[in-house]
Chains A and B, each alone.
Chain A
Amino acid sequence: MTIERDIIITEVALRDGSHAVRHQYTVEQVVNVTKALADAGVPYIEVTHGDGLAGSSLQFGLSKVNDMELIEAAASVAGDSKVAVLLLPGVGTLTELKEAASLGAKMVRVATHVTEADVAPQHIAMGKELGMEAVGFLMMSHMAPVEKLVEQAKLMESYGADIVYMTDSAGYFLPEQVTERISRLRQELKCEIGFHGHNNLSMAMANSVAAIKAGATRIDGSVRCFGAGAGNTQTEALIAVCERMGIKTGIDLYKIEDLAEEIVAPLLPVTPTITREAITLGYAGVYSTFAYHAKRAAAQFGVDARDVLIELGRRQVVGGQEDMIIDVAAELAKGKTVASK
Chain B
Amino acid sequence: MAKLKAAIIGSGNIGTDLMVKLGRSEHLELTAVIGIDPQSDGLRRAKEAGYAGVDTGIDGFLADPTLEADIIFDATSAKAHIYNDKVCQERGIKMIDLTPAAIGPYVSPAVNIDEHLNKNNINMITCGGQATIPMVAAINRVANVVYGEIVATISSKSAGPGTRANIDEFTETTSQAIEVVGGADKGKAIIILNPAEPPIMMRNTVYALVEEGKMNEQAIRESIAEMEKTVQSYVPGYHLRTEPIFEGNKVTVLIEVKGAGDYLPEYSGNLDIMTSAAVRVAEEFAKNTQKETV
Closest B residue to A56 by CB, please name it.
B188
Identify the closest chain B residue to A93 (Cβ).
B168
Q: Which chain B residues numbered 161 to 197 have a C-beta less than 8 Å away from chain A?
A: 161, 164-168, 170-172, 188, 190-197
The 7 closest A-B pairs by CB, nearest first: A316-B196, A323-B205, A58-B207, A93-B168, A90-B191, A115-B195, A320-B192
Contact of B207 among A59, A113, A316 (CB under 8 A): A59
**Distance between B224 CB and nearest chain A CB, rounded to angstroms:** 16
Q: Is B254 positioned at the interface, with any CB of A under 8 Å from its CB? A: yes
A330 touches B242 (CB 8 A): yes
Q: Does A275 reach chain B (CB closer than 8 Å)?
A: no
* Candidates B171, B195, B205; contact of A90 at CB < 8 Å: B171
Contact A119 B242 (CB under 8 A): no
- A308 CB to nearest B CB, Å: 14
Chain B residues at the A interface, C-beta cutoff of 8 Å = 147, 149, 151, 153, 156, 161, 164-168, 170-172, 188, 190-197, 200, 203, 205, 207, 209, 241-242, 245, 250, 252, 254
Say yes or no for A271: interface residue by CB 8 A criterion: no
Per the 8 Å Cβ criterion, residues 131-165 of A in contact with B are 143
CB distance from A218 to the nearest CB of B (A): 25
Q: Is A122 touching B153 in the complex (CB atoms < 8 A)?
A: no
Is the beta-carbon distance between A89 and B250 smaller than 8 angstroms?
no
Neighbouring B residues of A64 by C-beta, 8 Å: none
In the complex, the answer to whether B252 meets A326 with C-beta atoms within 8 Å is yes
Q: Is the CB of A113 within 8 A of B254?
A: no
Chain B residues, Cβ within 8 Å of A330: 242, 245
Asked if A305 lies at the interface with its beta carbon under 8 angstroms from chain B, I say no
Contact B194 A318 (CB under 8 A): yes
7 A–B contact pairs at CB < 8 A? A58-B149, A58-B250, A89-B168, A315-B200, A323-B151, A330-B242, A330-B245
Find the A residue at minimum CB distance from B166: A122
Q: Does A267 contact B (CB under 8 A)?
A: no
**Contact among B168, B207, B250 for A94, CB-based, below 8 A:** B168
Decide if A118 is an interface residue (CB 8 Å cutoff).
yes
Q: How far is the CA of A115 from the CA of B155 in the complex (A)?
A: 12
Query: Complex formed: what's the CA distance from A316 to B203 in Å?
Result: 14
Most buried by A among B192, B207, B209: B192
* Residues of chain B within 8 A of A89, CB atoms compared: 167-168
A90 touches B194 (CB 8 A): no
The answer to the question of A273 belonging to the interface, with a C-beta cut-off of 8 Å to chain B, is no
Of B149, B171, B191, B194, the most chain A CB neighbours within 10 A belong to B194
Q: Check A57/B190 contact, CB under 8 A, given A318-B195, A327-B242.
A: yes
Q: A89-B168, A91-B171, A326-B254 are in contact. Are A59 and B193 (CB under 8 A)?
A: no
Q: CA of A121 to CA of B168 in the docked complex: distance in angstroms?
A: 12
Docked CA distance A143–B203 (Å): 21
- Give the residues from 88 to 145 in chain A that come closer than 8 angstroms, CB to CB, to chain B: 89-91, 93-95, 113, 115-116, 118-119, 121-122, 143
Q: Does A253 contact B (CB under 8 A)?
A: no
Name the residue on A nearest B207 (C-beta): A58
Q: B245 to chain A: which residues have CB within 8 Å? A: 326, 330
CA distance A143 to B149 in the complex (A): 28
Contact across chains for B190 and A327 when beta carbons are under 8 A apart = no
Among candidates B161, B168, B195, B203, residue contacting A116 with C-beta atoms closer than 8 Å: B195
The 8 A CB mask of A308-328 against B (1 = contact, 0 = none) is 000000011110110110110
User: When the two chains form their complex, are residues A116 and B196 in contact, meaning their CB atoms are under 8 A apart?
Assistant: no
The answer on a CB contact under 8 Å between A113 and B195 is yes
Q: Are B153 and A321 in contact (CB under 8 A)?
A: yes
Task: Establish whether residues A57 and B188, one from each chain, have CB atoms under 8 Å apart when the complex forms.
Answer: yes
Bound Cα distance from A115 to B252, whole angstroms = 29
Contact A119 B164, beta carbon cutoff 8 Å: yes
Query: Which residues of B sit under 8 angstroms from A122, Cβ to Cβ?
Result: 165-168
| Interface-centre pick from A90, A116, A143 (highest chain B CB count, 10 A) | A90
How far does the Cβ of A98 sit from chain B's closest Cβ, in whole Å? 11
**Set of chain B residues within 8 Å of A324, measured between Cβ atoms:** 153, 203
A95-B172, A316-B194 are known contacts; what are 18 more A-B pairs with Cβ within 8 Å?
A: A58-B149, A58-B209, A59-B205, A89-B168, A94-B168, A115-B195, A118-B165, A119-B164, A121-B165, A122-B165, A316-B196, A316-B197, A320-B190, A323-B151, A323-B205, A326-B252, A327-B241, A327-B242
Kindly state the separation between the CA atoms of A145 and B293 in the bound complex, as whole angstroms. Answer: 62
Interchain CB contact under 8 A, B193 and A119 = yes
Could you tell me the distance in whole angstroms from the C-beta of B184 to the nearest C-beta in chain A?
12
Q: How far is the CA of A324 from the CA of B194 in the complex (A)?
A: 12
**In contact, B149 and A57 (Cβ under 8 angstroms):** yes
The answer to whether residues A59 and B190 also contact, given A119-B167, A326-B245 and a CB cut-off of 8 A, is yes
The smallest beta-carbon distance between B126 and chain A, in angstroms, is 12
